[in-house]
Amino acid sequence: MPENEAKSLGEFGASFKGFLDQMAAQAPAEDPVFLTRLRKHFSAEPAAFPIVGEQFERSDHPNVQRAIETYVSERKCSSVLVGIVGDQTFAYSGIGLAQLIMPARPGLWGGAAVTEGPVQYVNIPLDDQVIACVQCGLYLIGDGERRLAVLVRGPSEMGITRNVNVEAMGVDRSQAEEFLAELRLLIRKRNVYRGRVLSLSSDQHGGTNVQFHRLPAITRDQIILPEGLLDRIERQTIQFGKHSARLLAMGRHLKRGLLLHGAPGTGKTLTAMYLAGQMPDRTVLLLTGRGMGLIEQSCAMARVLQPSIVVLEDVDLIAEERTREGACAAVLFELLNQMDGLSNDADILFLLTTNRPDILEPALASRPGRIDQAIEVPLPDGVCRRRLFELYGRGLTLQLERLDRFIEKTEGASAAFIRELLRKAALFAADEMLDRPVVTDRHLEEAMHELVVAGGDLTKSLLGVR
């Protein structure tokens, strides 16, 4: 083929392709599938309908799911759930109701193709169940003559959406706002975390994760304290909670703080766990480890889920007197702000423990409403040590001829030490008699020597021996 002829054909082909591209760009775009669906759902043109959106914490994903399902069931609404699928741009950037009804033109919103598809769910495990939550879906809800379209998009690990996004479309704005208000109310009323034992931690993206915990079953006879001391502690916690409505009607404030202090191993943590177990209607927020940096979020959850208990063990780690070198001032200030920021009718108990009351920040206890009562949990006296030998000797075959001598020798020892003493003695007995071990005075003597003499000062300090 002559060179000029080939060149002419190439120019013609390029020109024709440009013509086709121009015509395609000028051609009216097809209506998106979701626009067609919404027209049918509303029996009207939805392109100009108002859209109201709200974001929820990722930890509230199961609460949002349960709230929507409750809204539909309690109002006996008709409901159709439509799945949404798209390309990588859709997966990364997310989508809103406004984009769903836009004509799909190249270059608009990244040119991402979005269409109907299977509903995407994510299973979120709770303490005793798994809730399947919609990760991306469009609810078409019919409530009598009122029609709503609700888009739910869950947090994404690969994209920029870290929260749960809910958008509501109605014929007028008030309908969408009323739906979201009802959703917030149902989230508070039907909260999946209410009445559970929780702690919060941060993930690598700065989000908040919720962990569930199970408290050990602790009975009252396992709390070995001087006579009358446990009664005082229960009066400030369990009894106070039982009469909270009556006290509020009498004009008494409900928020309160109790500080348990004393030497290591005296039973402060055991007492705190016992108290939490005796108030099963209360949500328990544990502030430990990485959760120390989430005091604001933990207290916010305690407000939503009240009546509640915020348990902060070893508070001296963050509430050290602020002039001391290395004191955690930022975390301390946040704790003080949260305690001050609660309203008087907030039924929240702050239950704090410390081994070092001498280094606590004075401001922690300087204002009523922060710490209302500080109670020392002392090292056990002779009567309590006898009861501890009985308690921790349960399940063992004991043949002790000189129990009184061991009670005297453990003066200045903590409950934790006596528990470990009997465990060590049981180990020595098991080494000698594998079938039916019997714990004798000799085994206790050997255990005492290993813990006090061979263990050295650090072991004694860890077990609370003075």
Q: Which helix (H) or strand (E) holds 84?
A: strand 78-86
> Can 212-376 and 382-462 be said to share one CATH topology?
no
> Considering the entire predicted model, what is its pTM?
0.80
What is the pLDDT at residue 47? 87
Q: Where are the domains of the chain?
A: 33-189, 212-376, 382-462
| pLDDT score, position 238 | 93
Q: In a 3-state reduction of DSSP, which class is residue 168?
A: strand
For 382-462, CATH number out of 1.10.3720.10, 3.30.70.100, 3.40.50.150, 1.10.8.60 equals 1.10.8.60
Confidence (pLDDT) at 404 = 94
The confidence score (pLDDT) of residue 108 equals: 44
The pLDDT value given to residue 251: 85
Token digits of residue 288 = 């430990």
pLDDT score, position 158: 63
Q: What is the pLDDT of residue 384?
A: 96
Q: Which of 349, 353, 369 is nearest to 306 (CA)?
A: 349
Burial group, residue 13, by CB count within 10 angstroms (0-12, 13-18, 19+): exposed
pLDDT in tens, the chain (466 residues): 555 555 565 565 566 556 555 654 554 556 778 889 999 999 999 988 999 999 998 899 999 999 999 999 999 999 999 998 876 555 555 678 988 887 655 444 444 467 888 999 999 998 888 999 999 999 999 988 889 999 999 987 665 667 899 999 999 999 999 999 999 999 999 999 999 999 988 776 667 789 999 999 999 999 999 999 999 999 999 998 888 889 888 888 888 889 999 999 999 999 999 999 999 899 999 987 666 678 888 888 999 999 999 998 888 777 665 555 555 566 777 777 887 777 778 899 999 998 888 877 777 766 666 788 889 999 999 999 999 999 999 999 999 999 999 999 999 999 999 999 999 999 999 998 877 899 999 999 999 989 888 767 766 666 666 6
- DSSP per-residue codes, 385-452: HHHHHHHHTTTS-EE-S-HHHHHHHTTT--HHHHHHHHHHHHHHHHHH-SSS--EEHHHHHHHHIIII
CA–CA distances in Å: residue 39 to residues 101, 119, 175, 293, 350:
10, 21, 17, 48, 53
Residue 167 contacts residue 53 (beta carbons within 8 Å): yes
Domain 212-376 part of CATH 3.30.565.10: no
| In contact, 83 and 206? CB cutoff 8 Å | no
pLDDT on residue 111: 42
